[in-house]
Structure 1
């Protein structure tokens, strides 16, 4: 019998568990360990609440989780409740599927001012992550700057712009919906170091901006090459640029919509200023060199704002005694192998790149690597050993059956039209699993 522990219950973790089931059948046990009492990682706390069709992939993970040889072990912190060394002594393979939940730091002057928020924190706030439920972002100002030109930046701007009616059918948490309901936002500005041709926003998500009830997206014609040059772009980028071009003639005055979403290309933030809080951001114009890298021009200007949300990427948090690549913000590995018996998968392996679906081939590939290393297994204790350790330490692990009780309570607490009202407090989650 082979015993595998997977740290992290997001897409990479569950795809790896599914791969292990298909590879070994009944000759494997898989324990999926998570710090939170609830599974599914970024599907629950990262995917935008108004993108319920994407969240539906969790049904596939639930099928895996209900297999007799897969066990969800929630409410367990690796490094506190159990160490990596202890897990390696109990399991033939330990796979780190912890994702990249930490914000890449914004390293400019003034980034420590109140009102500067990382996207992990802001997304976690409106998605009900317990770590960020008390964020209380200051949404009483008129202008917000969003740094970044990717889909996370898009999610942030869309959520900030929507009316309450537009959240029908979503699982945005009540505290965020209430605060958004009373926001005073009139302008949201995207800052992107490069131009429209280098945008990382995907067509479907970008197109949503053009259909918001109270917000209008605006791009500036001087940022664009001649339209005939679009033909040389990759199809996906060409579609995104097409959406951006459709935003050229719009303005808040012409449409009557009260919120303007402005695209500020070739714009690099260099400092944030304010007296005890964010009041403005200093921006330097850029230009592209021959390798399409943004270069500073020396020309600066300022934008008044009360909030700056940084959507510039994520990092995997290090774990004691696990080799770490500081430059890449991920575990040091070769094709997912850290060392025989210790592996990483998903964003913890490759950094925050790719879609949810990218994690499927990644998970199946890592199980092939595991198979090369562990053979038939080494007669380790696996789940029985972990349960004994938890009993000795009075660790109260949460099972998948417990999670289903938590989920039932969230569904029962939902406002009209919403699929659930998430618990945002770990103690409340734990209490909900008990009769």
Structure 2
């Protein structure tokens, strides 16, 4: 029996080419409160990417339309994307959104298919043939490079890979960073840069109680890194982290701040014109950098064996090599001055340079999205899919949400709002008839058949729950909330038991 016939056999409301809506949905509720006679189908939507953007989009779609079915496809066998692989291990409270995503994944009108690499195992065009709408939410898995000589030396890593290494991302398992130096330089001053600095300096006793991977925990226990400089091309008023992340650095056990007073010239005067969140953040920085702490805090700082500090108005020029030209021995920084003020201020080179001795350089200047399929429009310069409120330009029925839509900005709440906006655009298009659902679509049925033919076996949400149980048991055995499986092979083995 063909996929279409199998899908619709026994359903009297359906015909082979189209299906008539009688005003009732799956749950028998008439959404408009009266009989409807227009011709329509259960809209089938496919989401590519099982991270926060994908799950938030699915959540909103299911809530907005009682007749809508959503399938989420994810490249890895495990769901949750950056909540699992990006959030710092010492921030367990941020991972609580997993509970909401789990509810969505277990909804009767939502299905999860892990271990499916869209663009390789199945094309976007094939998904478009099977679904009424396709939402691309696969995030930003590329690195923005610094574009300086020496970037390929041993001892230089992207923050994305470094974070992936300590969080158990399978593709970063072999990273094995060399932590034998005393000074590390983190380029960038966003939340990810502060996460990296904090993990490098965090007492092992704290990390032992988190879901950081065992290989990372062992490497950090042996680490010689005692000083981390967090470098940015602009000034204190343009720093990109949040006050919560800065406060954690200020209060981090066994560390003290080490700032350059000259970097804060004129900042006190500029405070009065700053918006409140920025003002609070800048005040905390000023206090940390310039004020003499109270006795108890001074005592704590004097005992500290590790230091951290912001360095402002600096851009990377070159990674300096050791005499053998094999390893990182330092970084040459250009000294900048600012033109303009506030968020619009631009860093301009002064012609001066400064060399910093270090054995570890971590570039945290941003993630970037990559094109998934030649059929999908992609703006190489902005590294996003060109869109209007999540509607992909010149591609009816194609949508995008998350970092692929906006670029890598904001926190999980930002992604939530951005994803809800895309879902709203899709629902508006369904309600207005701009998105045509009069023709029946086979959805996952035809995609599953294609994957089967190609030897791809998806991991369902119930299979992920088997992995979840194993990881939590492994963690409990050593006093941790979870010990992650580190290879796709191990994940698939547990999923198929």
Query: Residue 239 of structure 1 aligns with which residue?
Result: 280
Q: Counterparts of 1:248-267 in structure 2 under 5 Å?
A: 248=289, 249=292, 255-267=302-314
> Do 2:191 and 2:245's aligned partners in 1 also have CA atoms closer than 8 Å?
yes
Q: Counterparts of 1:32-71 in structure 2 under 5 Å?
A: 32-71=72-111
What CA distance in whole angstroms lies between the structure 1 residues aligned with 2:202 and 2:425? Answer: 45
Query: Residue 394 of structure 1 aligns with which residue?
Result: 455
**Partner-residue secondary structure (3-state), 2:388:** coil
Task: Give the one of 57, 60, 71 matched to 1:19.
Answer: 60
| 1:290 and 2:340 are equivalent in the alignment | yes
Q: Counterparts of 1:316-327 in structure 2 under 5 Å?
A: 316-320=369-373, 321-327=375-381
> Do 2:255 and 2:301's aligned partners in 1 also have CA atoms closer than 8 Å?
no
**Partner-residue secondary structure (3-state), 1:170:** coil
Question: What is the number of equivalent residue pairs in this alignment?
Answer: 434
Q: Counterparts of 1:7-406 in structure 2 under 5 Å?
A: 7-25=48-66, 27-224=67-264, 225=266, 227-248=268-289, 249=292, 255-274=302-321, 275-291=325-341, 292-320=345-373, 321-338=375-392, 339-371=395-427, 372=429, 373-406=434-467
Worse overlay, 101-110 or 362-371: 362-371
Shift of 1:337: 1.4
Worse overlay, 247-256 or 342-351: 247-256
> Do 1:252 and 1:258's aligned partners in 2 also have CA atoms closer than 8 Å?
no
Moved over 6 A (4+): 250-253
What CA distance in whole angstroms lies between the structure 2 residues aligned with 1:174 and 1:407? Answer: 17
> Do 1:272 and 1:282's aligned partners in 2 also have CA atoms closer than 8 Å?
yes
**Partner-residue secondary structure (3-state), 1:247:** helix
**Partner-residue secondary structure (3-state), 2:328:** coil
> Do 2:132 and 2:437's aligned partners in 1 also have CA atoms closer than 8 Å?
no
What CA distance in whole angstroms lies between the structure 1 residues aligned with 2:402 and 2:299? Answer: 41
Shift of 1:49: 0.8
Task: Give the one of 479, 483, 495 matched to 1:417.
Answer: 479
Normalising by structure 1, we get a TM-score of 0.96
Shift of 1:295: 0.5
What CA distance in whole angstroms lies between the structure 1 residues aligned with 2:436 and 2:276? Answer: 44
**Partner-residue secondary structure (3-state), 1:279:** strand
Shift of 1:378: 2.8
What CA distance in whole angstroms lies between the structure 2 residues aligned with 1:299 and 1:133? Answer: 39
Shift of 1:20: 1.3
What CA distance in whole angstroms lies between the structure 1 residues aligned with 2:92 and 2:71? Answer: 27
What CA distance in whole angstroms lies between the structure 1 residues aligned with 2:93 and 2:194? Answer: 17
> Do 2:256 and 2:301's aligned partners in 1 also have CA atoms closer than 8 Å?
no
Shift of 1:334: 2.2
User: Which blocks of at least 5 consecutive residues in structure 2 are unaligned?
Assistant: 1-41
Shift of 1:418: 1.7
What CA distance in whole angstroms lies between the structure 2 residues aligned with 1:410 and 1:135? Answer: 21
Radius of gyration: which is bigger?
A: 2
> Do 1:280 and 1:302's aligned partners in 2 also have CA atoms closer than 8 Å?
yes
Structure 1 pair 296–429 and aligned structure 2 pair: CA distance change class (3 A): same
Shift of 1:375: 4.3
What CA distance in whole angstroms lies between the structure 2 residues aligned with 1:237 and 1:139? Answer: 34
What CA distance in whole angstroms lies between the structure 1 residues aligned with 2:95 and 2:69? Answer: 26
Shift of 1:268: 1.2
Normalising by structure 2, we get a TM-score of 0.84
Query: Residue 25 of structure 2 aligns with which residue?
Result: none
User: Which blocks of at least 5 consecutive residues in structure 1 are unaligned?
Assistant: none
Worse overlay, 412-421 or 220-229: 220-229
